[in-house]
Each structure stands twice: as structure tokens, then as C-alpha cells.
A and B are shown apart, each in its own frame.
Chain A
Amino acid sequence: MGAGHAHAHDHEQEAVSNSVFGFWIYIMTDCVLFATVFVGYVVLSHNYAGGPTGKELFDLPYAFGETMFLLFSSVTYGFAMLAMYRGNRKQVLAWLAVTFLLGLGFISMELHEFTGMIMEGNGPDRSAFLSGFFTLVGTHGAHVSVGLLWMAVMMGQVMTKGLSTRVQSRLMRLSMFWHFLDVIWIGVFTVVYLMGVLQ
């Protein structure tokens, strides 16, 4: 006990610290990926090929709703982390469930928007502007979907394994991923929706 135990604890902390930093590096590379997709969209954003413009397609109150879903989910994930630091497993599960539903609300709204546009003939094949739009917004949506899948797996792990060091470490990384996706969304609603309607 004593020194040996403390040493083991330090070792665990270092492992968690390394994996969290490693995940941060991954997120940074993902930032560069999004930067290239953003710039692709901006360069093509006026090439309508006779098709609809952003002003005709985008519904700002709808985009605002999506934004609020994602922002609320960011905060509820924060509450899940606070519950984790307190060691309260039930609250962690409850907040993860709330976050999952909010994220699902966001992705459902996005899919509804996409299918509506495609049904009206304004899919990614309509113009370069729309190719850029679906690539950028779709890449973000794909990330959110993967985040939801990861969250479902983590709820299962919290239920079956409890808040072990490994589970906590994974919850920390998912936290970074989830908050990061909300940061990217700020860029999306600014560059795509707000600027699109302003043109």
C-alpha cells in the first residue's frame, strides 16, 4: 500500500494524460481537414450553375434551431463530465442520455433538411455551390453521427464497467470531440447559412 499504490496511480494518470493529448493532436488534424473543406466551399460558393442560391435555400430560424440543439448538447455533456468527477454514475448516464437525444435532434433536423433539398432536385449534383455545401455540412454531420455512436457505446460501458479509469479517460476524449464539433458548427452557421443568406 502507500508508496506503491500512489506510484500505480501516478502511472495511470500519465497514461490518461498521454491519451488525452494524443486525441487533442487528432482533433487538430481534423481542424485542418475541416479548413480545406471550408475553403473548398467558399471558393465554389458563387458557382450556382443557374440553380438556387443560398438565399433561396436556407431557412435561418431552422439553422438557429439546429445550432441550439448542438449548443445545449455541449453543455449537457459538460454536466456529464462534472458528474463523472464527482463519481456519480447515475448522473453521468442521465446527462449522457440527454446529450445523446439533443445530438440526435440536431442530426435529424440536418437529415430532414438534406432530404428536402434533394427531393426538390437541389442535391449535391445540382451545382458546384451545392456540392461544396453537402461536402462541408455532410462532413460535419458524419462526425456528429460517429460521436453519437461513440456516446451510445460509452453509455453501455458506464453501465457495465462503471466509472473505471479507462472509462473516464474515454469519456474525456469524447468530451473533447463533442465540444470540438460544436466549435466547427460555429464556422458552418457563420460561413454557410448566415453568409449564404446575406449574399
Chain B
Amino acid sequence: MSHAAIDSTGAGHGSLRTYLIGFGLAVVLTVIPFALVMYSDWPTQYIVYGVFAAAVVQILVHLHYFLHLDRSSDQSWNVAAIALTAIAIVVVVGGSLWVMIELHYYMQPHAMLTGPLGLG
């Protein structure tokens, strides 16, 4: 009995098929941003959007196909934990960047009242 497979532990587990699908998607979502930066002649702004979009989608692919995060009930606490973490990260990253971009902007001699992000 000690060798019995463990199941329904809240960790979830995939199959050969889901791992291969996840791998295929991850390769495509890695090749796209590298190719965009190395070979494309798009305006820089569009390349940045493309690169970040690929990263966000690839993170979701990893969470779904490799970490098996989904909306099933035995995953609900894991999802709640990652949702709270996402809020903390948004506050830390967003807050720090906001403060530092504003600081950088107002340290320059030509600072205007509208502010760099239009937020005053």
C-alpha cells in the first residue's frame, strides 16, 4: 500500500498529452518574443507590447499545463493564495514604479504640473 499513487491532494496532475501541449505552446511563446526583438522591424512600442503579451500568456500556459492550476474545487485555496499574491505584487511593483517615475520626472528642470503619467 505504501507504493500506491497519491491522488486528490490538491496538487493536481497532468497527462503526457497536457505536458506536451504545454511544452509546444511554451516553445512558440518563447520563439515569438525573441524573434520580435531580434528580427522584426516593427516600431519599438509594438515590439514591447508583443513581448509582454507573449510573456503573460506563457505564464498562464505554465500555470495551467505544468502547475495544474484550474477552477476545480480542490484547487480553490491555491487559486485564492495566488490571487492575493497577485494583488500584493501589483501594489509593490505598480506603487514603486509610480513613485520612481514621478520622482525621476520632477527631478528634471522642465517638470510640469500635469506629471509624467497625467496623474499630477
Which residues of A approach B to under 8 Å, CB–CB?
5, 9, 12-13, 16-17, 20-21, 24-25, 28-29, 31-32, 35-36, 38-39, 42-43, 60, 63-64, 67-68, 71, 74-75, 78-79, 81-82, 84-87, 162-165, 168-169, 172, 175-176, 179-180, 182-183, 186-187, 189-190, 194-195, 197-198
Contacts and interface: CB of A to CB of B under 8 A. Distances in A.
Contacts of B88: 32, 35
Interface residues of B: mostly helix, strand, loop or mixed? helix
Given A75-B20, A87-B3, A190-B54, 14 more contacts: A16-B6, A17-B10, A24-B81, A39-B92, A64-B34, A74-B23, A74-B62, A78-B14, A82-B14, A172-B6, A179-B67, A187-B59, A189-B30, A195-B51
B9 interface: yes
B58 A74 contact: no
Contact of B10 (A20, A74, A84, A175): A20
A165 B2 contact: yes
A180 B81 CA distance: 14
Nearest to B5: A85
Identify whether the interface residues of A are mostly helix, strand, loop, or mixed: helix
Given A86-B5, A182-B66, A195-B51, A35 B19 contact: no
Given A17-B9, A39-B97, A190-B51, A78 B19 contact: yes
Contact of A195 (B2, B13, B48, B54): B48
B119 interface: no
Contacts of B19: 75, 78-79, 82
Interface magnitude class on chain B: 35 or more
B96 A43 contact: yes
Nearest to A183: B62
Contacts of A82: 13-16, 19
A176 B66 CA distance: 8
Nearest to B100: A43
A12 B8 CA distance: 12
B37 A194 contact: yes
26 contacts: A9-B4, A13-B6, A17-B10, A21-B78, A36-B92, A43-B97, A60-B38, A67-B30, A71-B30, A75-B19, A78-B19, A79-B16, A85-B5, A87-B3, A87-B5, A165-B6, A168-B5, A172-B9, A176-B67, A183-B62, A183-B63, A183-B67, A186-B55, A187-B55, A189-B30, A198-B51
A114 to B, nearest CB: 21
Contacts of A5: 1
Interface in B1-55: 1-11, 13-16, 19-20, 22-23, 26-27, 30, 33-34, 37-38, 44, 47-48, 51-52, 54-55
